[in-house]
Amino acid sequence: MLLEIVSPEAQLFSGEVESITVPGASGSFQILNNHAPIVSTLVAGSVKIQGKITLPAAHKSKFSQEGDLVFIDIQSGAIELSENKVILLAE
């Protein structure tokens, strides 16, 4: 599935991923390929992205990586999934 992470300053990431786990307002949840459409608010926490990901050099410092897992900490945000495209708006 395609994931785009956008902050008020710039698009931080765009690429194919296997899964994403986010800190939802009602609790953490995971999104996999072919997941049902969803819109949710996000709270402060860590976003976990799984897949063979190449981070953009301009924003690499905002992420941490452990093998096929990539993490980014957010303060708040929103997420939308439709037709295997995830857009994460993060602060």
Q: What's residue 33's pLDDT?
A: 94
Domains and CATH numbers, the chain: 2-90 (2.60.15.10)
* pLDDT tier for residue 90 given thresholds of 50, 70 and 90: very high
Contacts of 81 (CB under 8 A, 6+ apart): 1, 31, 35, 36, 37, 38, 39, 87
Name residue 90's beta-bridge partners. Answer: 77
Q: How many residues does the chain have?
A: 91
Query: Which of the two residues, 56 and 79, has the higher pLDDT score?
Result: 79
Round to whole Å and give the CA distance between 2 and 4.
7
pLDDT in tens, 21-51: 999 999 999 999 999 999 999 999 999 999 9
pLDDT in tens, 57-77: 999 999 999 989 999 999 999
**Predicted TM-score of the model (pTM):** 0.94
Q: What's residue 4's pLDDT?
A: 98
Three-point CA angle 67, 47, 90, nearest 5°:
130
Q: What's residue 28's pLDDT?
A: 97
